[in-house]
Every structure is written in structure tokens, then in C-alpha cells.
Amino acid sequence: MPRRWLRRYLPDLQSIRERGRIGFFGHLLEDPFLLHLNRRSVAGGVAVGLFVCMLPIPMQMVVAAGVAILVRVNLLISVALVWVSNPFTMPPMLYASYKLGAKIMGANIQRKPFELRVEWFWDNLAQIWQPLLLGSVIIGLLAAAVGYLLAHLAWRFYVYRHLQLRSKRYPHNGRHPKD
């Protein structure tokens, strides 16, 4: 992935400190690697963001930021990808996680009438939390692995394509005359 393209859309560290809700991480945000745009950092940020977005927990952005700081991957990408889970995508994600977890645990799938209300979720949480959590972790790990691989492949493809175009433009070993 091109660094210039990503830098155009990502905020800088100063604006994160001033406006961000993760300012309580304090001096941990000073690690320069958290904003690096290289293949490892971007792919790791994708993996962290996709894993955390699958977890049925509150304050996913803060958790994603904490994990990104802990494993030293791109903080902004990990926090941004948490928004894959939003009010529109969360119900099907939770249902799929619950079904997978219940199938793996051999538990009976809850047959109570489903209602799209927060109260229904909290009332039935005692019966569904174990399969829901297991399914969420498994789907989160799979999403993180696929996202990590796709980010690596996209980065490699971009670099390979860039080098091909450069070698066509400058036929002397693909190097620019000023290099």
C-alpha cells in the first residue's frame, strides 16, 4: 500500500493527542512505530482492528488502541478498523458468532424468539455468553489472519506494480537517473 496515499487519510499524532479519546495512554503514544506506515505495521494494525471488532465488548476502540500499543502496530489503522462492527453489522456478526460457538460447544441454540432490542440481549446473556464469546474469538482470529494476509499481499502487489512501472519508465536497471 502506498505510504503517501495512507498518509493523506490518516491524522497525525498531535491531532490524536488533542482530539482523541485515547489520550489517557499518555507517553505510550510517543512510540514512533505506532504511526509507521510499513508492511508489518499496517498488516498488524489490520489484524488487531479486525480481531477486536469481532469481540462483543464495549469500548472496542480503546481495546484496539491498547493492543496496538502493546504489540507495536499501526495505531490508527487498528482503531479505524474497529468500525467494521457498527449498529448495522453487529447483529449478524453476533448471531454468526453465537451459532458457531454453540455448534463447537455442542450446546443447543437458543430458540427463544429473537427481538432486536438491547434489553433482550441483556436478559438472555446468561444463556448465550459462552458460545457467543467462543464464536467471537474464533471468527475474530480468522478475520485477523485473513486481513493480515490480504494487507501483506496488497502491499507486495503495490510495490511490485510500482517497480514494474518504474522499470518501464527508466529502462536502466529500473533506477531513476537521479538515484
DSSP for 92-133 reads HHHHHHHHHHHHHHTPPPP-SPP-SSHHHHHHHHHHHHHHHH
Does 175 map to a domain? no
How many residues are present in the chain?
179
Does residue 92 contact residue 51 with C-beta atoms inside 8 Å? no
Q: What are the residues whose beta carbons fall under 8 Å from the beta carbon of 170, sequence distance 6 or more?
A: 176, 177
Cα angle at 120 between 143 and 52, to 5 degrees?
20
Please tell me the predicted confidence (pLDDT) of residue 27: 57
Does 112 map to a domain? yes
Nearest residue to 143 via CA among 4, 42, 41, 48? 48
Does 60 map to a domain? yes
Taking the C-alpha atoms of residue 51 and residue 47, their distance in angstroms, rounded to an integer, is: 6
Does 179 map to a domain? no
Does 104 map to a domain? yes
Does 178 map to a domain? no
Q: Is the dihedral of CA 23, 33, 162, 176 positive or negative?
A: positive
Nearest residue to 62 via CA among 24, 118, 13? 24
Residue 112: φ, ψ to 5°: -65, 150
Please tell me the predicted confidence (pLDDT) of residue 138: 97
Please tell me the predicted confidence (pLDDT) of residue 24: 54
Please tell me the predicted confidence (pLDDT) of residue 136: 95
Does 174 map to a domain? no
Please tell me the predicted confidence (pLDDT) of residue 8: 66
Within the chain, which residues score under 70 in pLDDT? Answer: 1-32, 109-116, 172-179
Please tell me the predicted confidence (pLDDT) of residue 127: 80
Q: Which residue is listed with cell 455468553?
A: 129
Global pTM reads 0.75
Taking the C-alpha atoms of residue 171 and residue 153, their distance in angstroms, rounded to an integer, is: 26
Please tell me the predicted confidence (pLDDT) of residue 46: 95
Does 146 map to a domain? yes
Number of domains in the chain: 1
Tell me which residue range forms the domain holding 52: 3-169
